Amino acid sequence: MATSEFGRAVRRWRDRVSPEDAGLPAGGHRRAAGLRREELALLAGISVDYVTRLEQGRASNPSAQVVEALARALRLSGDERAHLFRLAGLAMPGPAAVPAYISPSVQRMLDRLTGTPVAVYDASWTLLVANPPYAALMGDPSGWRGNERNAAWRHFLGPGSRARHTSESLRAFETALVADLRAAAGRYPADERLRRLVAELRANSDRFAGLWDSGAVGRHEAARKTIDHPYVGPLTLDCDVLTVAGSDLRIMIYTAEPGTEDADRLALLTIVGTQALAG
């Protein structure tokens, strides 16, 4: 019964969220005003098949990470989020876990930055949400699963990013990333997912292990970054990382100096990227 109730709740809340509300293009004829299953899957970072099985009551025991992702994608209130966790048979994440909840006020702020690449990460640098301009700039994260969504894992063990580094900027970036993870591990020592992430990084990356064991101290600061984009070429942009008081979220924002070739390329990329998502 709980499985079918979970699926009905997801379907009911999916029907009330429009693509425009979720930062997606409406795109073509729609039978209903709400999100399609593939759009919910895109926003939550899970497969369409899994969304289908959840809604039809054919999938049981969704993880807390999946429930949290669905709550974000469906823009649930605090009470609705708690209800979804109860329907999944899970306890709400407590203060011992890395926070992954995006409040309605933060979501409203993100909604107003539709022409600006913006992504939200948790304290362990796991990507929670990226808007279409960010996906167009840095690569579509909708197919990323598990640790693929973590910036530290992608940098030290995965494919990296499109950001270009000098030897100096690379050292500063890696030091800040490892220092952030050390600080997060200290604040959330009971978070099992974070412990597993750190253990995997230490076991498989000598660079990470060296920085971790040396007690590296650093912090992310505003910086100018060059992004090597495969279609529009290099863009030199300002990258700012904002923190949200009380939630331990990091909001990463890329902007271009007005009137520059970089601004023109970013505007073009935002248009092209949005059209690609609508196709």
Q: Note whether residue 99 is domain-resident.
A: no
Mean pLDDT of the chain: 88
**47 falls within a domain:** yes
**Regarding predicted confidence, which is higher, 135 or 279?**
135
Q: Is a pLDDT exceeding 50 seen at residue 1? A: no
The residue-averaged pLDDT of 79-103 equals 89
Q: Same domain, yes or no, for 29 and 144?
A: no
pTM for the model: 0.81
Mean pLDDT on 67-89:
92
Within 8 A by CB and 6+ apart from 118, the residues are 110, 130, 131, 133, 134, 251, 252, 253, 254
Q: Residue 113: its pLDDT value, please?
A: 87
75 and 121 inside one domain: no
Structure tokens belonging to residue 209? 């292990």
For residue 113, count other CB atoms closer than 10 A to its CB: 16
Q: Which of 57, 87, 117 is the last residue of a domain?
A: 87
% of the chain surpassing 90 pLDDT: 58
Q: Same domain, yes or no, for 147 and 225? A: yes
Q: Which two tokens stand for residue 172?
A: 């500063």
Q: Which DSSP string do the residues of 173-206 spell out, in sequence order?
A: HHHHHHHHHHHHHHH-TT-HHHHHHHHHHHHH-H
- With 60 as the cut, is the pLDDT of residue 119 above it? yes
- Domain assignment present for 111: yes
Same domain, 15 and 141: no
Closest of 193, 180, 183, 198 to residue 241, by C-alpha: 180
pLDDT single digits (tens) 222-261: 789 999 999 899 999 999 999 888 888 999 999 999 999 9
Indicate if the pLDDT at residue 279 is higher than 60.
no
* Virtual torsion, Cα 197, 199, 202, 208, nearest 10 deg: 30
Q: What is the pLDDT of residues 30-60, one digit of tens each?
A: 776 789 999 898 888 888 999 999 999 888 8
pLDDT digits (tens, 9 = 90+) for 152-191: 999 999 999 999 999 999 999 999 999 999 999 999 999 9
Is the pLDDT confidence value at 136 over 50?
yes
CATH number of the domain residue 23 falls in = 1.10.260.40
**pLDDT value of position 222:** 76
Residue 95 lies in a domain: no
* Range(s) of the domain holding residue 59: 2-87
CA distance 80 to 71: 8
Residues 158, 250, single domain; the answer is yes
Pairing of strands 118-121, 163-164: unpaired
Q: Tell me whether residue 208 is in a domain.
A: no
Report how far residue 234's alpha carbon sits from residue 58's, in angstroms, rounded to the nearest whole number.
Answer: 46
